[in-house]
């Protein structure tokens, strides 16, 4: 298993539990997860709904905290962070891409991309310059001043990707990035994400679509809050895609 | 500072995005501030004018008048100032000049006057020769009284222009006779016009020489007069006041525990009671406005709460992008404050306009005057309302869990 022999892991989950209590029922959404992710990996997290992949996504994205166990982000234990440090971690280390784009509807594409930089106290002209570059990088240099509802789904997701990347985060966290797109646009977006990976971006993607997971180099499959399989997707391990993913397909 | 500027920018964008709603939201504030500014501008305009008129009296004048406490009035024992008091002051106090008695005709201080078939009522005032200089009124036609008129108690008078109009006397009335009570009186002078104040004419009065006035009212009666005088050296005004007080107390035979049965007043003191009324009106209107700002504030809180719910997802996104609780709190708080402040700004402008309009439409009304403190206070109040009523929605927004907020539909 490749763990990035030279650079230290970006993400280390050590025996992580996330427990929800509903009345007298205790539910382990994550049930002892151990994962290490190195810099420049391209990872798919797959699993059926309820398998805990969203919970893991939230924990990796510093939106949620583990009930038990340690999460080290760039060597720092997230469990020890206060609210402000968590927000800073989200701002600097994580770039989110969501299935439903989650753009600020009243702000133009440019302003959406500028927004994360506000929380870094970067002056406005500088923000504008950096955001413009990010939008040009995803091929939207000519639609910067459009509002989200004036853009197509693919374009919106490009804006979201530009926004996620504008602060040069350690990790790009994509949650079903093609879930709301047609197949042609999905291919375009995946091509873009592939390209970002080639440029050196660490990418973690949650998906239940096998052909999307195929893009990734490593696939982590979750089932009932545990890692079911964790394998490289270099074609040598063909059992992977017929396994848990097959169940999800229907 | 950076965060503050960013919050203001985002607040303005949000307000602009919901233009009509923002207008409706801040309407309560607008109306509240508008009414306070309108009322204050009118009342202060009034106060400004009246104070300016009193200052025409000259800051160095003193007025001595009798004063009977209410309890004594009930007993029917009225204090009085008499000629002898004036002569005593003139004789014993130095550093004063232009001392003049003033006597108002009895019974409501209005005297019946008539000319040919016209009759009217007017304020009839008996005065000494120095009255003109102390009060700054001068005849525009004819002459004023001489010491001789006073000494001989001649039935001559100087009248305000309204008296001529009320009695339908000819334009050139010098030398004409009209009746005051039962006496025929010759017009020797017409005093220049002072105009109206609050719609009340300021030119409806008859001036008589002091001696003549006493004669008309009955020379043998024990009349109550006022004494007006000028202090030569402004810096010694308090000293002079105190000496007059001592002389009069002694003259009136007051014991050390007794209260004064007279008052020595400066022009400022004359305006003080008026200003008390003005301040009361201002305070009452401020109270009413306080209530309307409260209502406006509740309206803003209501809309902000709705807005927080409506923008739950946006808040989730911002948190995912790295906004701290404090960032979100600031953003919503500043938005509420900005709404209030804009409301205040519009309110001040409209209120000033309204005040000016009302002042312009009422005849004889002084020009509206908005003091800086009223504007500052209004803004301060608006900001406070914004903070007080913005804090709950803002805290609600800040406390939202990012995961729940992102999932919110």
Residue with structure tokens 């002042």?
B359
Taking contacts as CB-CB distances below 8 angstroms, the residues of chain A near B403 are: 58, 63-64
d(CA B181, CA B86): 27
- The pLDDT of residue A41: 93
Residue A110's closest CA among A148, A55, A69?
Answer: A148
Is B2 close to A104, i.e. CB distance below 8 A? no
B13 touches chain A (CB under 8 A): yes
**CA distance between the termini of chain A:** 30
Taking contacts as CB-CB distances below 8 angstroms, the residues of chain B near A127 are: none
Taking contacts as CB-CB distances below 8 angstroms, the residues of chain A near B321 are: 90-91, 96, 115-116, 119, 163
Q: Which residues pair with A171 in a beta bridge?
A: A94, A202
Domain boundaries of chain A, sorted by first residue: 9-233
d(CA B264, CA B271): 14
Distance of CA B253 to CAs A193, B140, B219, B239, B250, Å? 106, 44, 24, 21, 5
- Distance of residue A116 Cα from the nearest chain B Cα, in angstroms: 5
Please check whether residue A40 is in contact with residue A202, taking contact to mean a CB–CB distance below 8 angstroms: yes
A106 touches chain B (CB under 8 A): yes
φ/ψ (deg, to 5) at B76: 80, 20
pLDDT, tens digit, for every residue of A158-216?
999 999 999 999 999 999 999 889 999 999 999 999 999 999 999 999 998 888 898 99
pTM of the predicted model, to two decimals? 0.69
Taking contacts as CB-CB distances below 8 angstroms, the residues of chain A near B395 are: none
Q: Predicted ipTM?
A: 0.88
- The pLDDT of residue A239: 42
Please enumerate in sequence order all residues whose Cβ is within 8 A of that of A235, keeping only pairs 6 or more positions apart, or say none. Answer: none
Looking at per-residue confidence, does A190 or B254 come out higher? Answer: A190
Helix (H) or strand (E) holding A35: strand A25-38
Domain boundaries of chain B, sorted by first residue: 2-53+272-407, 61-265
- Closest partner residue to B320 among A90, A107, A118, by Cβ? A90
d(CA B209, CA B225): 13
Q: What angle do CA B180, B181, B182 make, to 5 degrees?
A: 100
- Distance of residue B403 Cα from the nearest chain A Cα, in angstroms: 6
Residue B136's closest CA among B126, B147, B144, B146?
Answer: B144
pLDDT, tens digit, for every residue of A90-108?
999 999 999 999 999 889 9
- The pLDDT of residue A247: 41
A235: pLDDT strictly greater than 70: no
Taking contacts as CB-CB distances below 8 angstroms, the residues of chain B near A121 are: 2-3
- Closest partner residue to A88 among B13, B320, B322, by Cβ? B322
Q: What residue in B sits closest to A82 (Cα-Cα)?
A: B324
Radius of gyration of chain B (CA): 32
- The pLDDT of residue B371: 81
pLDDT, tens digit, for every residue of B319-366?
999 999 999 999 999 999 998 999 999 999 999 899 888 888 877 677
User: What share of chain A in percent tops pLDDT 90?
Assistant: 72
d(CA B295, CA B28): 7
Q: Which residues pair with A73 in a beta bridge?
A: A11, A76
Mean pLDDT score across all residues of chain B: 83
B3 touches chain A (CB under 8 A): yes
Taking contacts as CB-CB distances below 8 angstroms, the residues of chain A near B322 are: 87-88, 90-92, 116, 119-120, 167
d(CA B304, CA B300): 6
Is A90 close to B321, i.e. CB distance below 8 A? yes
Is B320 close to A92, i.e. CB distance below 8 A? no
CA atoms within 13 A on the CB side of A222: 29
- The pLDDT of residue B84: 85
Q: Worst-scoring range by mean pLDDT, A73-77, B92-96, B274-278?
A: B274-278
d(CA A160, CA A171): 14
CA atoms within 13 A on the CB side of B302: 12
3 state DSSP class of B194: coil
B220 pLDDT tier (thresholds 50, 70, 90): low
What's the token pair of residue B142? 């004819």
B321 touches chain A (CB under 8 A): yes
User: Which CATH number is A9-233 given?
Assistant: 3.40.50.300
Q: Which residues pair with A27 in a beta bridge?
A: A20
Looking at per-residue confidence, does B267 or B197 come out higher? Answer: B267
- Distance of residue B382 Cα from the nearest chain A Cα, in angstroms: 27
3 state DSSP class of A114: helix
């Amino acid at each position: 298993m490749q763990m990035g022999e030279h650079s230290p892991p970006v993400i280390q989950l050590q025996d992580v539990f996330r427990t929800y209590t509903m009345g007298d029922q205790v539910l382990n959404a994550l049930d002892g997860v151990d994962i290490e992710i190195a810099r420049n990996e391209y990872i798919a997290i797959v699993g059926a709904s309820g398998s805990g992949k969203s919970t893991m996504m939230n924990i990796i994205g510093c939106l949620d905290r583990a009930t038990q166990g340690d999460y080290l982000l760039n060597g720092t234990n997230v469990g020890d962070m206060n609210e402000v440090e968590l927000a800073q971690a989200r701002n600097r280390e994580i770039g989110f891409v969501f299935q439903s784009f989650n753009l600020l509807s009243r702000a133009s594409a440019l302003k959406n991309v500028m927004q994360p930089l506000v929380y870094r106290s970067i002056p406005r002209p500088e923000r504008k310059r950096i955001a413009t570059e990010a939008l040009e990088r995803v091929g939207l240099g000519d639609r910067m001043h459009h509002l989200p509802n004036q853009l197509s789904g693919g374009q919106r997701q490009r804006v979201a990707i530009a926004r996620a990347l504008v602060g040069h985060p350690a990790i790009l966290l994509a949650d079903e990035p093609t879930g709301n797109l047609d197949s042609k646009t999905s291919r375009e977006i995946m091509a873009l994400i592939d390209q970002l990976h080639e440029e050196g971006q660490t990418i973690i993607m949650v998906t239940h679509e096998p052909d999307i997971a195929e893009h990734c180099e490593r696939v982590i499959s979750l089932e009932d809050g545990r890692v079911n399989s964790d394998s490289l997707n270099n074609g040598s391990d063909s059992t992977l895609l017929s396994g848990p993913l097959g169940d999800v397909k229907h | 500072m950076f965060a503050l500027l960013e919050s203001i920018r985002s607040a303005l964008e949000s307000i602009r995005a919901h233009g009509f709603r923002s207008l409706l939201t801040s309407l309560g504030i607008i109306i509240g501030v508008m009414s306070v500014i309108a009322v204050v501008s009118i009342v202060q305009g009034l106060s400004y004018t009246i104070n300016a008129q009193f200052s025409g009296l000259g800051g160095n004048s003193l007025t001595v008048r009798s004063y009977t406490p209410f309890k004594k009035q009930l007993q029917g024992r009225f204090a009085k100032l008499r000629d002898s008091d004036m002569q005593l002051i003139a004789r014993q106090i130095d550093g004063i000049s232009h001392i003049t008695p003033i006597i108002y005709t009895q019974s409501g201080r209005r005297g019946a006057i008539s000319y040919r078939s016209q009759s009217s009522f007017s304020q009839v005032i008996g005065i000494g020769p120095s009255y003109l200089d102390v009060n700054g009124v001068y005849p525009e036609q004819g002459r004023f009284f001489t010491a001789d008129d006073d000494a001989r108690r001649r039935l001559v008078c100087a009248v305000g222009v309204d008296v001529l109009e009320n009695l339908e006397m000819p334009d050139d009335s010098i030398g004409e006779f009209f009746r005051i009570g039962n006496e025929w009186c010759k017009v020797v002078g017409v005093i220049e016009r002072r105009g109206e104040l609050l719609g009340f004419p300021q030119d409806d009065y008859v001036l008589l020489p002091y001696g003549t006035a006493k004669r008309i009212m009955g020379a043998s009666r024990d009349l109550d007069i006022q004494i007006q005088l000028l202090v030569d050296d402004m810096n010694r005004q308090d000293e002079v006041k105190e000496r007059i007080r001592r002389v009069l107390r002694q003259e009136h035979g007051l014991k050390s525990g007794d209260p004064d049965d007279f008052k020595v007043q400066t022009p400022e003191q004359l305006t003080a009671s008026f200003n008390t009324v003005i301040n009361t009106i201002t305070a009452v209107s401020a109270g009413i406005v306080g209530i309307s700002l409260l209502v406006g504030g509740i309206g803003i809180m209501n809309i902000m709460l709705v807005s927080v719910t409506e923008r739950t997802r946006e808040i989730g996104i911002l948190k995912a992008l790295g906004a701290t609780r404090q960032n979100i709190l600031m953003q919503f708080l500043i938005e509420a404050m900005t709404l209030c402040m804009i409301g205040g700004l519009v309110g001040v402008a409209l209120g000033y306009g309204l005040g000016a309009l009302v002042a312009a439409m009422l005849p004889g009304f002084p020009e509206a005057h908005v003091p800086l403190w009223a504007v500052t206070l209004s803004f301060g109040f608006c900001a406070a309302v914004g903070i007080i009523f913005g804090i709950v929605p803002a805290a609600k927004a800040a406390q939202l869990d990012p995961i729940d907020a992102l999932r919110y539909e």
